A and B are shown apart, each in its own frame.
Chain A
Amino acid sequence: MKTPTRSTVFWASLFDLLSSMRFAIGLLTILAIASVIGTVLQQNQPYPNYVIEFGQFWFTVFEWLGLFDVYHSAWFLILLAFLVLSTSLCIWRNTPGFLKEMRGWREHASERSLAAMSHTALLQGTGTPETVQAYLTSQGFAIKTAQREDGSTMVVGKRGAGNKLGYFFAHIALVVICIGGLMDGNLPLKIGELVGTIRPETRDIPQGQVPAESRLSTSNLSFRGNVTIPENSSADVVFLNAGRGYLVQDLPFIITLKKFRVEYYPTGMPKLFASDIVITDKASGKTREETVKVNHPVHVDGVAIYQASFGDGGSPLALTAWNLAAPAMGPIKVEGRSMNQQPLIANGKPYSLEFGELRVFNIQDMRDNSTVAVNKTFNELLSQAQSVQHEKNLANAGPTIQFKLRDNQGQAFEYHTYMSPLVLEGRSYIVTGVRKEVGQPFSYLRLPLDQEGSLQSFMRLYATLHDTSLYPEIARRAAAKALAGSSISPEMQQQFQFSVEFVLNRFHEGGFRALDEFVQARVPADKQAEVGQTYIKILQAVVVDMMEIAHQRAGLAPFQLNENNYRFLLDSLVAAGILVRDYGSPVFLQLSGFEQVQATGLQLTRSPGKNVVYFGSLILVLGILCMFYIREVRVWVRLGAQDTRLAVSSNRKNRDLEQDFARHQARLLEIVQGKA
Chain B
Amino acid sequence: MELVHSQLNTSQKRLDVFDWLYAALIVVAAVVAEQQYGQYMDIYEHSILIGSTLGLIALGWFWKSWRWFFPLTGALALAAIALYAGDINQGQSRFFLRYLLSSQSAIMWMCTLFFLAMAVFWAALFSRSAFLEQFATGLTWAASVMGLTGLFVRWDESYLISPDIGHIPVSNLYEVFVLFCLITALMYLYYAERVATRRMGAFVLPIICAAVGFILWYTFDRQAHEIQPLIPALQSWWMKIHVPTNFIGYGAFAIAAMLGIAERLVSRGVLADRLPSADIMEEVMYRAIAVGFLFFTIATILGAMWAADAWGGYWSWDPKETWALIVWLNYAAWLHVRLVKGWRGAVLSWWAIIGLFVTTFAFIGVNMFLSGLHSYGAL
| Interface of A toward B, CB cutoff 8 Å | 21, 24-25, 28-29, 31-32, 35-36, 38-40, 42-43, 70-71, 139, 181, 184, 224, 265, 267, 269-273, 293-297, 304, 306-308, 372-373, 381, 383-390, 603, 605, 607, 610, 613-614, 617, 620-621, 624-625, 627-631, 652, 654-656, 659-660, 663
Q: Quick check: A43 and B1 within 8 Å, CB to CB?
A: no
Q: Contact: A269 with B229, CB < 8 Å?
A: yes
- CB <8 Å contact, B164 and A271: yes
Closest residue of B by beta carbon distance from A37: B322
* Across-interface contacts of B221 in A (CB, < 8 A): 373
Closest CB-CB distance, A622 to chain B, in whole Å?
A: 11
Listed A/B pairs (9) with beta-carbon separation below 8 Å: A224-B313, A271-B229, A295-B235, A295-B236, A373-B223, A384-B223, A386-B98, A624-B294, A656-B5
Task: For the complex, give the distance between the alpha carbons of A264 and B337 in Å.
Answer: 52
What would 12 more interface pairs be, CB under 8 Å, given A620-B297, A656-B2, A659-B6? A38-B317, A39-B370, A184-B313, A269-B228, A387-B104, A388-B103, A389-B157, A621-B294, A624-B293, A624-B297, A628-B290, A656-B5
- CB within 8 Å of A: which B211-242 residues: 219-221, 223, 225-229, 231-233, 235-236, 238
Pick from B24-32, B133-141, B248-256, B326-334 the stretch touching chain A. B326-334
Interface: B78 (CB within 8 A): no
Complex: how many Å from CA A29 to CA B328? Answer: 11
Interface size class of B (residues with CB under 8 A): 35 or more
Do residues A610 and B308 form an inter-chain contact, with CB atoms below 8 A? yes
* Chain B positions 191 through 225: 1 when the CB is less than 8 Å from some CB of chain A, otherwise 0: 00001000000000000000000000001110101
CB pair A25–B312 under 8 Å, yes or no, is no
Instruction: Given A386-B98, A390-B223, A630-B1, decide whether A296 and B309 contact each other with a Cβ distance below 8 A.
Output: yes
Interface assignment of B67: CB less than 8 Å from any CB of chain A: no
For B304, what are the chain A residues with a Cβ–Cβ distance below 8 Å? 613, 617
Minimum CB–CB distance for B118 against chain A, Å: 21
Assuming A613-B314, A628-B2, is B329 touching A32 (CB within 8 A)? Answer: yes
CA distance A29 to B351 in the complex (A): 12
Taking a contact as CB atoms closer than 8 A, the residue among A31, A32, A385 that contacts B225 in the complex is A385
A-facing mask of B135-177, CB < 8 A → 1, else 0? Answer: 0000000000000000000100110010011000000000000
A25 touches B337 (CB 8 A): yes
B330 x A32 contact (CB < 8 A): yes
The verdict on B305 contacting chain A, using a C-beta distance below 8 Å, is yes
Say yes or no: is B341 at the interface (Cβ < 8 Å to chain A): yes
Q: In whole angstroms, what is the CA distance A295 to B1 when docked?
A: 35
Task: Mark each residue of chain B from 323 to 356: 1 if its CB lies under 8 Å from any CB of chain A, else 0.
Answer: 1011001101100110111000000000000000
Q: A39-B366, A389-B227 are in contact. Are A181 and B233 (CB under 8 A)?
A: no
Neighbour of B317 across the interface among A32, A43, A139, CB < 8 A: A43
Cross-chain contact B232 with A304 (CB below 8 angstroms): no
Contact B233 A295 (CB under 8 A): yes
Contact for A629 among B4, B9, B313, CB less than 8 A: B4
B309 contacts A297, C-beta separation under 8 Å: yes
Inter-chain contact total with CB atoms closer than 8 Å:
175
Smallest distance from the beta carbon of B256 to chain A beta carbons, Å? 14
Provide the main secondary structure of the chain B interface. Answer: helix
Question: How far, in whole Å, are A21 and B340 apart by their CA atoms in the complex?
Answer: 8
Are the C-beta atoms of B231 and A270 separated by less than 8 Å? Answer: yes
Tell me which residues across on chain A come within 8 A of B104, comparing CB atoms: 385-388
**A381-B103 contact, Cβ under 8 Å, with A21-B336, A389-B88, A389-B227:** no
* A373→B236 CA distance, assembly (Å): 33
Contacts of A663 in B (CB 8 A): 9
Residues in B neighbouring A620, C-beta threshold 8 A? 297, 301
**Min distance, Cβ A65 to any Cβ of chain B, angstroms:** 16
Chain A: CB-nearest residue to B234: A295
In the bound complex, residues from chain A placing their C-beta under 8 Å from that of B329 are 28-29, 31-32, 35
Assess A656 versus B6: contact at CB under 8 Å? Given A617-B304, A621-B297. Answer: yes
Q: Are A621 and B301 in contact (CB under 8 A)?
A: yes
Q: Cβ of B298 < 8 Å from any Cβ of A?
A: yes
A656 CA to B283 CA in the complex, in Å? 11
Residue of A nearest to B341 (CB): A21
User: Are A181 and B315 closer than 8 Å at their CB atoms?
Assistant: yes
Q: Is the CB of A267 within 8 A of B229?
A: yes
> Please, how many angstroms separate the alpha-carbon atoms of A273 and B230 in the complex?
12
